């Protein structure tokens, strides 16, 4: 089965590597992608794994080679945000609030969903292709010209984008820049910032343990490494922070704020309320430091919360009879929030359906994620179908360099999908094999009364096309390639064709959600 999928993908992967014939923007993105796998970048990772302090030392060197000085970053009036979950949403709320005040904002986040330009935003919008290309080559050429004098070293992918963001925000003269930490905090390359105006830390959880440590205490220490002036979300571990010398504040519950009428958030999900409160405190602190004295207009603050958009997080897209629920949850804690949100919103749609509704799960996870634990949380949602696919947008790929990933082989991705399929079957009591407990341990609950069909597809597009069964006009473009499906697989789709509505939860990975949005929301490709 794996070999069959690899053959289907062979042509597409080959075409992705032939991007030199594309336009200048795609050429820039393809060149950027070489920093995922170049030998010097891999050597950096190996060398610095046991000495994380070398990461910031190397970052200072790359910044200087790119023509920037650390003290220049002070002009960006930076808000710096970290945390295990919620830091991206917190940044999005904060940026929108301050943009509503009329400030020219910069916003650096990761990962991107569809296009790499999304990581670097000016006034809430991804930087344009022309500007991205212009600034990319300015920075890349400076680093390329100096690499021979530095042992041939070039910054790895995320480091380069961080340097590029600094350069763009300085050149575009933003009034402030909101920076989301990549991983951790203390040794993250964004922490080259010396004087952020205010820092925020969202919720803590166990994630990236090979880098940050395997306890909350170790992870809290890493996150606290960005401290300058700090706002901390309520109910988070404060005892780990006592060794840091900075002003520390804990934000209140959102219900404690006074507003006229109900306070509405642009992002769905109960967990966004604590992110919104943290954003309010970050914005308030920044405004106070910026204005020193003066009136802070409550209307602009609450309007900012209501107008915030952050795709791929508790997002709903309705395409005729097919409704997609997208959330990039990829830890057990965030999956709990995702399930809570889905269980609240899906029944609301189903009550208005007027007939049978099919529930479909589209799932994938990457890295060191505990897939079994996340799938266990999804079992009570009672899906009629569970579909698994790798984070490959389409098997016969156009040259979409933005979503290339050279760090994981196709075979490994597909093997993981098959493992997830097996885990789902065991969790639902559909299949028990000798040794299955090695895959899923610890007395997991079985739900034998509802059978959930499982399938694995070679790419996101083929999975979406099969799930929607031609009922989503956005996916029914005759110019799209449709991968042939065996008659036996098509026969399983009868309930999908007969249902009044199809509800699809897409979760487990932001990269999966981004690949789905590439097909479901064409505007994101422009």
Contacts of 480 (CB under 8 A, 6+ apart): 461, 465
For helices 371-378 and 332-351, angle between their N-to-C axes, nearest 10 degrees: 30
Render 252-312 in DSSP notation, one character per residue: PPGGGS--SS----SS-STTHHHHHHHHHHHHHHHHHHHHSSS---HHHHHHHHHH---TT
Alpha-carbon distance values, 349 to 270, 283, 496 (Å): 18, 35, 17
Task: Note whether 404 and 391 are within 8 A (CB).
Answer: no
Pairwise CA distance, residues 316 & 320, whole Å: 13
How many distinct helices (H) and strands (E) make up the chain?
Answer: 19, 14
Intra-chain end-to-end CA distance of the chain, in Å: 35
- Within 10 angstroms of residue 319's Cβ, the number of other Cβ atoms is 18
Q: Is 498 annotated as a binding residue?
A: no
In angstroms, the CA 389 to CA 361 distance is: 11
CA 392 to CA 464: how far, in whole Å? 12
C-alpha distances out from residue 427 to 376, 382, 446, Å: 7, 12, 5
290 is in an annotated binding site: no
327 is in an annotated binding site: yes
Across-strand partners of 177?
78, 106
Residue 106 φ/ψ, nearest 5 degrees:
-115, 145
- Facing residues of 502 across strands? 322, 358
Radius of gyration of the chain (CA): 23
Please state, in angstroms and rounded to a whole number, the distance separating the CA atoms of residues 275 and 278: 5
Cβ–Cβ contacts within 10 Å for residue 331, how many? 19
Residues in the chain: 526
Residue 208 is labelled as binding a ligand:
yes
Cross-strand partners of 319: 322
| Residue 291 half-sphere exposure toward CB, CA atoms < 13 A | 14
In the annotated binding site, the residues are: 110, 180, 208, 313, 327
In the annotated binding site for Mg(2+), the residues are: 110, 180, 208
In the annotated binding site for ATP, the residues are: 313, 327
């Amino acid at each position: 089965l794996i070999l069959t999928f690899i053959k289907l993908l062979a042509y597409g992967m080959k075409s992705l590597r032939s991007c030199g014939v594309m336009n200048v923007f795609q050429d820039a993105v393809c060149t950027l992608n070489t920093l995922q796998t170049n030998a010097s970048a891999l050597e950096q990772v190996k060398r610095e794994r046991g000495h994380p302090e070398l990461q910031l030392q190397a970052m200072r060197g790359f910044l200087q080679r790119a023509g920037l000085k650390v003290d220049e970053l002070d002009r960006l009036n930076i808000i710096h945000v970290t945390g295990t979950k919620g830091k991206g949403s917190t940044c999005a709320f904060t940026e929108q609030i301050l943009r509503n005040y009329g400030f020219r904002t910069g916003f650096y986040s990761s990962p991107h969903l569809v296009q790499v330009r999304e990581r670097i935003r000016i006034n809430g919008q991804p930087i344009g292709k022309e500007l991205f290309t212009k600034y990319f080559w300015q920075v890349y050429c400076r680093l390329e010209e100096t690499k021979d004098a530095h042992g041939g070293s070039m910054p790895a992918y995320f480091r380069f984008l961080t340097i590029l963001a600094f350069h763009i925000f300085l050149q575009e003269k933003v009034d402030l820049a909101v920076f989301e930490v990549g991983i951790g905090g203390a040794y993250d390359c964004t922490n080259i910032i010396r004087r952020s105006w205010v820092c925020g830390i969202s919720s803590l959880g166990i994630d990236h343990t090979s880098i940050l440590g395997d306890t909350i205490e170790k992870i809290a220490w890493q996150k606290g490494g960005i401290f300058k002036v700090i706002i901390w979300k309520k109910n988070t571990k404060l005892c780990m922070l006592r060794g840091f010398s900075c002003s520390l504040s804990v934000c209140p519950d959102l219900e404690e704020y006074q507003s006229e009428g109900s306070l509405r958030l642009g992002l769905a999900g109960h967990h966004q309320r604590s992110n919104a409160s943290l954003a309010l405190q970050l914005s308030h602190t920044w405004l106070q430091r910026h204005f020193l004295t003066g009136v802070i207009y409550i209307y602009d603050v609450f309007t900012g919360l209501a107008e915030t958009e952050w795709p791929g997080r508790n997002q709903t897209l309705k395409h005729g009879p097919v409704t997609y629920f997208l959330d990039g949850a990829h830890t057990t804690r965030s999956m709990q929030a995702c399930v809570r949100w889905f269980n609240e919103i899906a029944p609301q749609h189903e009550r208005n359906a007027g007939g049978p509704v099919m529930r479909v799960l589209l799932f994938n996870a990457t890295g060191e994620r505990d897939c079994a634990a996340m799938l266990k949380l999804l079992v009570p949602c009672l899906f009629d179908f569970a579909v698994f696919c790798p984070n490959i947008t389409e098997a016969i790929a156009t040259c979409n360099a933005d979503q290339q990933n050279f760090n994981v082989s196709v075979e490994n991705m597909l093997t993981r999908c098959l493992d997830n399929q097996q885990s789902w079957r065991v969790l639902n009591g559909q299949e028990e094999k000798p040794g299955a407990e090695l895959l899923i341990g610890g007395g997991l609950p079985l739900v034998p009364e509802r059978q959930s069909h499982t399938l694995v597809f070679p790419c996101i597009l083929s999975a979406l096309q099969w799930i929607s069964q031609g009922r989503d006009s956005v996916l029914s473009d005759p110019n799209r390639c449709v991968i042939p499906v065996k008659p036996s697989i098509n026969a399983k789709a009868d309930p999908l064709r007969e249902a009044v509505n199809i509800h699809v939860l897409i979760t487990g990975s932001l990269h999966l959600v981004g690949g789905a949005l590439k097909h479901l929301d064409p505007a994101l490709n422009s």
